Amino acid sequence: MARKTGEQKTEPTNNSAADDMNNNPYLGLNAVETISRFTDFDIHLFRQGKHFKLYEKLGSHVMEVKGVTGTYFAVWAPNAARISVTGNFNGWNKESHLLSSRWDSSGIWEGWIPNIGVGEVYKYHVVSQNGHQQEKSDPFALWCEVAPRTASIVWDTWYEWQDNDWMQNRQEKNKLNAPISVYEVHLGSWQRDPSEPERYLTYKEIAPQLVAYVQEMGFTHVEFMPVMEHPYPPSWGYQITGYFSCASRMGTPQELMYLIDQLHQAGIGVYIDWVPSHFPGDAHGLFRFDGTALYEHEDPRKGYHPDWKSYIFNYGRNEVKSFLISNAIFWLDRYHTDGLRVDAVASMLYLDYSRNHGEWIPNEFGGRENLEAIALFREMNVAAYTEFPDIQIVAEESTSFPGVSRPVYVGGLGFGMKWMMGWMNDTIKYFEKDPAFRKWHQDQLTFSLVYAFSENFMLPFSHDEVVYGKHSLINKMPGDEWQKFANLRLMFSYMFTHPGTKLIFMGGEFAQTSEWNFQQSLDWHLLEKKMHVGMKECVKALNRLYKSEPAMYEYSFSASGFEWIDTQDRENSVLVFARKAADPEDTLVIVLNMTQVPRKGYRVGVTSEGNWKEIYNSDAVAFGGSGIINYHAVTAESHRWHGKSNSILLDLPPLGAVIVKKDPILRIHPAAAAIMESKS
């Protein structure tokens, strides 16, 4: 059954205004009626920083009043001297449609204008106390004009969702002991029409191709880089001017909802990037909205971000806190998203982030922690998980700040997961090294397990690693072409077998050779080449393995699910470890050979006696490898090795990963069976 979401028609709460209209059912085009959607309780919550659904009140809302359709406007601007609504409907006349300031000193200006509705273009003309005049977009606009135009558009979020099955059962796909493999996507450059390469595809045009591809690849979730309105494409969406509007250059809110709906119907979860850390200084945006530092700090030591030349929200202001938490809830509510990835958390947690001595102000205790941002995160996470207990909120946090993904009630920040940035940096640095020198750097791979269970970590190979001269993933790898591909398959194999959930930025899964360019499509033509097809098949196989083997995900965030078997063979650059599940029979043993030297009959200690069968090999011919496969299951010998009572002999492929699992009977590897069949 379809589920409709969005606003219902709302009667005015101002009874006196309604009574006046009994005598005047038709209102002239120039009339603005003082009607309010706010109750006293709404205002109380707003002032306390506790109103988490402001999008139902502030902004523009089409309402029918006494038989007349019109639009209610409400905007927070406590230091403005006058505000009017301008648009095509009044010839952009800044005098004709003045809003009224509420009597309760809340700083909210409001009014209902008849005979305008969905699709109407508008702005707020704001006059500050010193007489300065400016045209501002609506901070709560549900849609905006396509840049470089900057006006807001009266719109709604009414949509007939078809994803009931997903929404009712998504807890199983989103829980922390489920396999979560995320495909990070920049919608503007994932794919474009070859006949019109400069044109953005719409959300609706992208839907069938993206859904089919993610299904084929076996990812469980997608993560969209910011889908909110941003006028400057080179910001990749991280410089937002319309926090409640989807990016208009790619379509309407309903078209974005359609894309999410289609992904849900295909069993794919959707996370989106959320950016509460900063906003740009565009004249039509939040910057000095009412002529003062309203959303930001007046003092640049707290309100200006030196890295991004943008402005930092005033997290200590209750109304701003309500704005931000309402925005997080909005995307979970109206767009059915399954989670948020919160950008640049570290920049919010520390007052001295990217600042020199004297460029920041300590907190009230003299420390560098931003206590107001910490309080915001805790309140936001509690609010989001209370209303949507089956979502995940993931922090991009690059420091060792304690308890990021621990519950608020034990002193944590309350996030569900945290990006494992240290693992990502160490892993890439290791794999960039020539294999001849890796024996001196094995600690770069083993160190992550020292802290791997201190948080609920997601392992990312994100967009930030393939831009600005950092090279694509495949071109970070050393050696000739064959070695580059083998190294990348090995690195992905290490990623999928390491504890934690997974994230791969688009293009990495088929070894995009050029750096990511937000202005053009991925290089899909590379899939005409065998090695790139092999890489794609390898990632597909890893996703299948990840989802089918409980040892790969049941204890992603617990030491119960991991055991080092051997880290001492530095000379050969071989690592051996086990991943464990609730059922000991599901235990996997993983062997990584980090050099291009094949190792025949390499002895490996295993966790129990019995038969062991290879279930994955990154050197498979289908992946572009050389085909050094362990074709037959082997019976563990009572030969003590690696501190284990039992051991087996394996052939290790060059720059390859081998995964073996207990098998109740001796089986032949499918690849060997295929060879025998072809010979017969």
Establish if 569 belongs to a structural domain: yes
Judge whether 566 lies within some domain: yes
Neighbour-count burial of 181, counting CB atoms closer than 10 A to its CB (0-12 exposed, 13-18 middle, 19+ buried): buried
Q: Cα dist. 607→255, 525, 586 in Å? A: 52, 44, 11
Q: Is residue 60 situated within a structural domain? A: yes
Burial of 271 (0-12, 13-18, 19+ CB in 10 A): buried
In this structure, what token pair is assigned to residue 386?
């209370």
pLDDT tens for each residue of 411-431? 999 999 999 999 999 999 999
Would you say residue 516 lies in a domain?
no
CATH code at 116?
A: 2.60.40.10
* Mode of pairing for the β-strands spanning 221-224 and 269-274: parallel
Task: Quote the CA–CA distance of 190 and 523 in Å, as a whole number.
Answer: 9
Which residues form the catalytic set?
343, 396
Cα-based torsion angle of the residue sequence 171, 177, 179, 184 in order, rounded to the nearest 10 degrees: 70
CATH code for the domain in which residue 644 is found: 2.60.40.1180
The tokens of 572 are what? 């050969």
What 3-state class would DSSP assign to 210?
Answer: helix
Among the candidates 130, 154, 178, a domain finishes at 154
Is residue 590 assigned to a domain? yes
pTM, two decimal places = 0.94
Residue 123 forms part of a structural domain: yes
Whole-number pLDDT of residue 29: 43
Domain that holds residue 100: 40-154
In the chain, % helix, strand, coil (3-state, to 5) comes to 30, 25, 45
124 within domain boundaries: yes
What domain count does the chain have?
Answer: 2
Distance CA 121, CA 509 (A): 42
How is 52-109 classified by DSSP, letter by letter? Answer: --GGGTSEEEEEEETTEEEEEEEEE-TTEEEEEEEEGGGTT-TTTSBPEEPTTSS-EE
**How far are the Cα atoms of 429, 496, 577, 590 from residue 566, in angstroms, in the given order?**
21, 19, 7, 10
Boundary residue ending a domain (120, 138, 154):
154
Q: Contact, 390 vs 332, CB < 8 A?
A: no
Distance, CA of 26 to CA of 317 (rounded, Å): 41
pLDDT of residue 31: 78
Considering only CA atoms, which of 673, 603, 610 is closest in space to residue 640? 603
Q: Given this model, what pLDDT does residue 399 score?
A: 93
Residue ending a domain, among 154, 189, 213, is 154
* Rounded Cα distance, 493 and 593, in Å: 11
Segments of the chain scoring below 50 in pLDDT: 1, 8-30, 680
Within a domain: 433: no
The contacts of residue 1 (CB under 8 Å, 6+ apart) are 164
SS3 145: coil
8: buried, middle or exposed (CB in 10 Å: 19+, 13-18, 0-12)? exposed
Tokens representing residue 403 in the block: 């308890």
**Residues whose CB falls within 8 Å of the CB of residue 241, separated by 6 or more in sequence, listed in order:** 137, 144, 150, 229, 230, 231, 279, 280, 282, 284, 285, 286
